């Protein structure tokens, strides 16, 4: 599962991008440069995951955050993940399991080259923030076997009953206080300073406000953003290495202004081919995208005038649009609540409630699920989710299938056919509604 | 005169266990419930739940491990994509077809994302049935994971107390702990006996006996194990020239019984396995005196099986449980049998294979589904493995 942002060395020729996208791309590229130059600069590297990403805490120890999921996404976008996945399968990894993992393992087997063409440094510590995806645990056991470095587990209990309890918070705070922080101190050689953490948390909340503002502009018609394909650019910095930094504050204020301007001008979202034409369909999308054919996939939507007004995938690194903000007055508790609240750590009924809310609140024509072959965290239960959201909203839902970064599971013709059928279904519903009126 | 009689006794016991195994309506559990007004049944999925708490609440813990190869899945497939394992779809089938209509509660343990998400599906599909995702700590410090787990156990105890309409007392818990300690001792004795003389205790029979333990009240299951052990020791069965293997990866979706039989027919005595781990998850007795929930928590943290669903904090320990199982049982190899699309088993497998390679232990791997029907490829693979062990081990 999980998320991140297209950036770095994605082919850009003939691709139109807003200024914010260029800014994001430069931020991500700079981060990769910081990572790959770590052996020269002496910076220490902490590998961790996007959901449950404790960037504020990692930053308190002057550690650089490296996210294997984002690296797999970059490999997908650069069309090299296919060979990495096959390399991992060749050395014994099952064809059935997460392709992020196999892309990562295959990339290491092939020299561990970052998107900037330089070699990734070995991590100094693996921060196993185990939130909402079982695979994370196995993934870092695999990396630990390879790198033989300190591995810190932070276990986030699952919100099976649709809420978190004081017991869960206490458990997580104790883990942070008694195990995570002392181990990060030991690895980094930097003493923990809670005021430094508070400062970073304040910065996080500021950027989160602006991100939410941007995502909620999609309530307008036409929507000035695409909250799935475009949204993936927008979440990149905050879900990655920038939450809790001035860079993130600058980026999200810049983005907010840009989108507000687009809104004021009555413009729709930007696409790789410029502004989208007339908005014909408003969709809520559940599930991650396919990255090996990202632009082709996106084109199937904007060619039809379909804009995604809300998506669950842009919540895997944190759900902010229902009020949660990092709270500097409760530094460890707020980190616990953040981890507990990420999308895939929410029970299935909670996920259904969210999607139903999105369909209604964003006045969508329906729900589309992109089910990912190798991501059980997202995919198991999606067929029931589809029926429930359809039943509750009265809006049509549809189901397509692909994979994260394994190109073998992207069938363009199949997906296009299903999308076209879905749009016809939406039209029929509209016609029926007009007749009834 | 005694031998044929006892042989008949093992056959009778296994016949009873087979009836329970094949009965997808769970008649034994239904009969237990119907025998006394107010009785309740709580189902649970793999890999582990503290059955002691269910028993202490006066309820019957009912292990549900899918539908096997005898259940036609009609509705369940409509809930899952083709790339998701079979156990959740056959479990949904059991629910939708009314086979679980007598079950008052369901527990979905922390094992993988599929079973986790099934817990939420159950809440929506069967809203009048108590259901709970049963989380366990991945932190094994008493003051951290231990305290968290004690509180989770207390929540479960309180939920079940509400379900039965009366508190669950510490004495009831202690009594249940004692009963399950006895049961685990018998299971360990059976596994130990099989490790010593696997020809005496065929793997398929062990599996059937363990499956019966998912349905019968613990007192009855312990009696069954005692009877079987006594009967089995009185009869000498033919000894084959088989190699000895440890079977692993089978901790959730169960392989068809024919698969287990096929391994032994192909020349591999199963001397240890990770089938139905709930029956021996706790590796030593839980103290009966003291705080029962704390005792259960301590046992979980420090005396429980290693498996893919648990984080191993110490890299040096990773996979060593398998090496120890091989050494303890005198096994000559390991067979990785993993359900298709099983994240925990399949993601763990490469690491475990490296550990075995470092220890000089040969292994093979294949996948199955609970409804796999074609055993010939598995027999050929296991047979070749057995031959290679005999050939290269100098036996």
Span A417-433, pLDDT tens digits: 999 999 999 999 999 98
Going by C-alpha positions, the residue among B235, B317, B176 that lies closest to residue B6 is B235
User: Is A310 contained in some domain?
Assistant: yes
DSSP letter for B394, please: T
Alpha helices in B165-291 (DSSP H): 170-196, 203-215, 218-233, 257-265
Question: pTM for this one?
Answer: 0.96
The answer to whether residues B94 and B75 touch, using CB atoms and an 8 Å cutoff, is: no
Q: How far apart are CA A233 and CA A12, in angstroms?
A: 14
Distances, alpha carbon A106 to alpha carbons A73, A82, A116, A126, in Å? 13, 9, 17, 18
Span A364-406, pLDDT tens digits: 999 999 999 999 999 999 999 999 999 999 999 999 999 999 9
> Which pLDDT belongs to residue A7?
44
Cβ separation A381–B121 shorter than 8 A: yes
pLDDT at residue A13 is higher than 90: no
- Provide the ipTM: 0.95
Say yes or no: B250 contacts chain A, CB-CB below 8 A.
Answer: no
Q: How do B268-273 and A397-402 pair as beta strands?
A: unpaired
Span B204-227, pLDDT tens digits: 999 999 999 999 999 999 999 999
Burial per residue of B139-152, b for 16 or more beta-carbon CB atoms within 10 angstroms, e otherwise: bbbeebbbbbbbbb
Say yes or no: A89 contacts chain B, CB-CB below 8 A.
Answer: no
User: Is A350 contained in some domain?
Assistant: yes
User: Is A13 contained in some domain?
Assistant: no
> What is the greatest pairwise CA distance in chain A?
71
Helix (H, G, I), strand (E, B) or coil at A353: helix
Going by C-alpha positions, the residue among A387, A397, A333 that lies closest to residue A359 is A397
CA A192 to chain CA mean position, Å:
28
pLDDT at residue A10 is higher than 60: no
Say yes or no: B117 contacts chain A, CB-CB below 8 A.
Answer: yes
Cβ separation B344–A134 shorter than 8 A: yes
Radius of gyration of chain B (CA): 20
Closest CB from A348, A351, A379 relative to B81: A379
Residues of the domain holding A425: 19-436
Give mean pLDDT, residues B341-347.
Answer: 97
Span A131-180, pLDDT tens digits: 989 999 999 999 999 999 999 999 999 999 999 999 999 999 999 999 99
Span B20-68, pLDDT tens digits: 999 999 999 999 999 999 999 999 999 999 999 999 999 999 999 999 9
Cα dihedral A126, A130, A134, A139, rounded to 10, equals -10
pLDDT tier, B6 (very low <50, low <70, confident <90, very high otherwise): very low
Q: Give the number of A-B residue pairs with CB atoms closer than 8 Å.
A: 166
Say yes or no: A371 contacts chain B, CB-CB below 8 A.
Answer: yes
User: Is A299 contained in some domain?
Assistant: yes
pLDDT at residue A3 is higher than 70: no
Q: How far apart are the first and last CA of chain A?
A: 43
Q: Side by side, which strands form the sheet with A397-402?
A: A306-311, A281-286, A366-372, A397-402
* Residues with Cβ within 8 Å of residue A275, at least 6 apart in sequence: A267, A268, A269
> Which pLDDT belongs to residue A14?
66
- Residues forming a β-bridge with B243: B268
Closest CB from B83, B123, B308 relative to A373: B83
Cβ separation A381–B338 shorter than 8 A: no
| Mean of the per-residue pLDDT values of chain A | 95
Say yes or no: B319 contacts chain A, CB-CB below 8 A.
Answer: no
Say yes or no: B213 contacts chain A, CB-CB below 8 A.
Answer: no
The answer to whether residues A72 and A100 touch, using CB atoms and an 8 Å cutoff, is: yes
Give mean pLDDT, residues B272-286.
Answer: 97
Q: How far apart are CA B382 and CA B378, in angstroms?
A: 6
Cβ separation B117–A348 shorter than 8 A: yes
Cβ separation A171–B148 shorter than 8 A: yes
Question: What's the count of helices (H) and strands (E) in chain A, helices before strands?
Answer: 18, 10
Ordered structural domains, chain B, with CATH:
2-172 (3.40.50.11890)
pLDDT tier, B391 (very low <50, low <70, confident <90, very high otherwise): confident
Span B369-390, pLDDT tens digits: 999 999 999 999 999 999 999 8
Q: How far apart are CA B339 and CA B370, in angstroms?
A: 8
> Which pLDDT belongs to residue B7?
45
Q: Hey, what are B253's tokens?
A: 């979706």
Span B127-155, pLDDT tens digits: 999 999 999 999 999 999 999 999 999 99
Q: What secondary structure does DSSP assign to A95-106, as a single string?
A: TTS-HHHHHHHH
User: Is A2 contained in some domain?
Assistant: no
User: Is A294 contained in some domain?
Assistant: yes
Phi, psi angles (nearest 5°) of residue B142:
-55, -40
> Which pLDDT belongs to residue A310?
98
> Which pLDDT belongs to residue A16?
78
How many C-beta neighbours within 10 Å does residue B204 have?
Answer: 20
Q: How far apart are CA B319 and CA B307, in angstroms?
A: 9
Span B242-261, pLDDT tens digits: 999 999 999 999 999 999 99
Phi, psi angles (nearest 5°) of residue A154:
-120, 110
Number of domains making up chain A: 1
Q: How far is B127 from chain A (nearest CA, A)?
A: 11
Interface of B with A in 351-370 (CB under 8 A): 351, 353-354, 367
> Which pLDDT belongs to residue B2?
35
Looking at chain B, the whole-number percentage of residues with pLDDT higher than 90 is 96
pLDDT at residue A12 is higher than 70: no
Residues across chain B: 395
> Which pLDDT belongs to residue A17?
82
Q: How far apart are CA A396 and CA A365, in angstroms?
A: 7
Residues of chain B positioned with their CB less than 8 A from the CB of A125 = none
> Which pLDDT belongs to residue A54?
97
Span A196-223, pLDDT tens digits: 999 999 999 999 999 999 999 999 999 9
Looking at chain A, the whole-number percentage of residues with pLDDT higher than 70 is 97
User: Is A7 contained in some domain?
Assistant: no
User: Is A134 contained in some domain?
Assistant: yes
Residue with tokens 């032994």: B264
pLDDT at residue A4 is higher than 80: no
pLDDT tier, B3 (very low <50, low <70, confident <90, very high otherwise): very low
The answer to whether residues B223 and B184 touch, using CB atoms and an 8 Å cutoff, is: no
DSSP letter for A67, please: -
Q: How far apart are CA A233 and CA A254, in angstroms?
A: 13
Q: How far apart are the first and last CA of chain B?
A: 36
Say yes or no: B146 contacts chain A, CB-CB below 8 A.
Answer: no
């Amino acid at each position: 599962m999980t998320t991140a942002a297209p950036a770095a060395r994605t082919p850009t020729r003939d691709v139109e991008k807003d200024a914010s996208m260029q800014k994001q791309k430069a931020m991500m590229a700079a981060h990769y440069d910081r990572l790959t130059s770590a052996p020269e600069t002496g910076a220490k590297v902490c590998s961790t995951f996007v959901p449950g990403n404790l960037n504020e805490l990692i930053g308190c120890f002057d550690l650089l955050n490296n996210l294997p999921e984002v690296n797999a996404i970059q490999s997908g976008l650069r069309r090299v993940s296919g060979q990495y996945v096959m390399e991992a399968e060749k050395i014994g990894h099952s064809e059935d399991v997460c392709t992020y993992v196999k892309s990562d393992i295959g990339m290491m087997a092939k020299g561990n080259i970052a998107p900037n063409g330089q070699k990734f440094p070995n991590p100094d510590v693996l921060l196993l923030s185990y939130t909402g995806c079982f695979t994370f645990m196995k993934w870092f056991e695999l990396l630990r076997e390879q790198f033989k470095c300190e591995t810190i587990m932070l276990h986030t209990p699952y919100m099976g009953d649709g809420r978190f309890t004081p017991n869960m918070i206490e458990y997580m705070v104790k883990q942070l206080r008694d195990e995570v922080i002392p181990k990060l101190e030991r690895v980094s050689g930097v003493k923990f300073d809670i005021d430094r953490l508070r400062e970073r948390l304040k910065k996080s909340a500021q950027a989160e406000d602006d991100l939410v503002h941007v995502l909620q502009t999609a309530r307008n018609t036409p929507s000035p953003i695409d909250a799935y394909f475009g949204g993936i650019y927008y979440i990149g910095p905050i879900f990655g290495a920038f939450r809790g930094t001035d860079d993130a504050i600058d980026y999200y204020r810049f983005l907010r202004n840009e989108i507000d301007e687009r809104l004021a001008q009555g413009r729709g979202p930007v696409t790789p081919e410029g502004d989208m034409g007339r908005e014909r369909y408003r969709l809520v999308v559940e599930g991650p995208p396919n990255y090996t054919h990202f632009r082709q996939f996106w084109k199937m939507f904007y060619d039809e005038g379909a804009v995604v007004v809300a998506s669950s995938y842009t919540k895997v690194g944190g759900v902010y649009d229902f009020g949660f903000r990092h709270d500097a007055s409760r530094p460890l508790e707020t980190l616990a609540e953040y981890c507990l609240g990420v999308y895939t750590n929410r029970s299935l009924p909670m996920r259904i409630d969210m999607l139903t809310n999105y369909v209604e609140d964003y006045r969508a024509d329906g729900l589309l699920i992109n089910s990912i072959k190798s991501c059980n965290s997202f995919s198991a239960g999606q067929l029931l989710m589809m029926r429930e959201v359809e039943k509750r909203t009265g809006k049509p839902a549809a189901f397509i299938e692909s994979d994260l970064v394994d190109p073998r599971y992207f069938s363009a013709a199949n997906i296009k056919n299903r999308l076209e059928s879905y749009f016809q279904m939406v039209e029929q519903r509209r016609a029926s509604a007009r007749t009834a009126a | 005169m005694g031998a044929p009689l006892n042989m008949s006794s093992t056959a009778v016991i296994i016949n009873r266990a087979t009836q329970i195994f094949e009965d997808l309506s769970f008649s034994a559990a239904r009969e237990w419930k119907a025998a006394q007004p107010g009785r309740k049944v709580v189902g649970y999925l793999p890999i582990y739940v503290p059955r002691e708490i269910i028993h202490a609440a006066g309820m019957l813990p009912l292990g549900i491990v899918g539908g096997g190869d005898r259940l036609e899945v009609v509705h369940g497939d409509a809930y899952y994509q083709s790339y998701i394992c079979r156990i959740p779809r056959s479990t949904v089938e059991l629910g939708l077809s009314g086979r679980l209509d007598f079950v008052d509660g369901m527990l979905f343990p922390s094992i993988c994302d599929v079973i986790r998400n099934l817990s939420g599906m159950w809440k929506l599909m069967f809203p009048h049935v108590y259901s709970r995702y049963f989380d366990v700590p991945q932190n094994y410090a008493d003051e951290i994971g231990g305290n968290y787990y004690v509180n989770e156990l207390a929540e479960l105890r309180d939920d079940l107390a509400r379900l039965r309409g009366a508190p669950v007392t510490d004495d009831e818990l202690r009594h249940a702990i004692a009963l399950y300690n006895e049961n685990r001792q018998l299971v360990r004795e059976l596994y130990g006996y099989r490790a010593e003389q696997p020809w005496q205790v065929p793997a398929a029979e062990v599996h059937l006996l363990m499956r019966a333990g998912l349905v019968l009240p613990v007192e009855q299951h312990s009696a069954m194990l005692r009877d079987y052990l006594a009967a089995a020791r009185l009869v000498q069965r033919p000894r084959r020239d088989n190699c000895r293997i440890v079977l692993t990866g089978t901790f959730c979706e169960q392989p068809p019984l024919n698969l287990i039989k096929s391994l032994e027919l192909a020349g591999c005595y199963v001397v240890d396995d990770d089938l139905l781990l709930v029956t021996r998850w706790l590796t030593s007795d839980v103290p009966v005196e003291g705080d029962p929930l704390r005792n259960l928590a301590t046992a979980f943290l420090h005396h429980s099986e290693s498996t893919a669903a648990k984080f191993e904090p110490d890299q040096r320990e990773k996979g060593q449980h398998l090496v120890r199982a091989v050494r303890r049982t005198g096994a000559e190899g390991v067979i990785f049998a993993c359900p298709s699309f099983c994240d925990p088993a399949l993601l763990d497998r490469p690491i475990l294979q490296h550990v075995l390679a470092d220890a000089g232990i040969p292994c093979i791997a294949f996948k199955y589904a609970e409804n796999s029907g074609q055993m010939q490829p598995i027999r050929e693979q296991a047979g070749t493995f057995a031959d290679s062990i005999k050939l290269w081990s100098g036996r």
